[in-house]
Homo-oligomer: A and B are copies of this chain.
């Protein structure tokens, strides 16, 4: 009987490509953590989705927590990079704020993984985000832009006085974030699909209006 092994070298021999393997693992991990959270995620599943052996998770990252941390750092870098592309120079404070609110809504719409992983991080008492703070100033660039825009708008008489930039930052984030983060239960409660094109458009408009109206002098 002829020996026939599934383990012989493939017709297309696999190449050694550590960078690509690492990246594939990160992508798979992000999906898996988003779907199931840190506790619910399965290392086997991450490896399978990445199409590599489970041991490589340990080889490249150390353990489950370490790859989770790497995913978190990756997401954070993405956000900071994105926020650095914001350009509101030359815009009046109200136009600028409008644009910023829209941007933060759009970002969350395009990155559902971020929302759900951040939720998990919060349940875990931000243990890893706190750790991230050792590497970098995690105060997002957006907060600084908000502060500048707000105070400039107040000076120009476009916005009312007495609004704290930090509170505003939390509120603007909240209005968009909660919509996406609570979408499943909200959809169930309201009995409509909040992910539909029209629902998204309606929410986006409401959020912008709500903020701008609130800041009127």
Contacts and interface: CB of A to CB of B under 8 A. Distances in A.
B185 A170 contact: no
Interface string A195-207: 0000000110011
A125 B116 CA distance: 11
Chain A contact residues, majority secondary structure: helix
A210 to B, nearest CB: 5
Interface of A: 36-40, 116, 118-126, 129-130, 133, 138-140, 143, 160, 163-164, 166-167, 170-171, 173-175, 177-179, 181-191, 202-203, 206-207, 210-211, 213-216
A139 B191 CA distance: 8
A188 B129 CA distance: 7
Contacts of A188: 126, 129-130, 133, 138
A184 B132 CA distance: 13
Given A119-B123, A167-B210, 12 more contacts: A37-B123, A119-B181, A122-B183, A129-B184, A129-B188, A163-B206, A167-B206, A174-B175, A174-B177, A174-B182, A181-B181, A211-B214
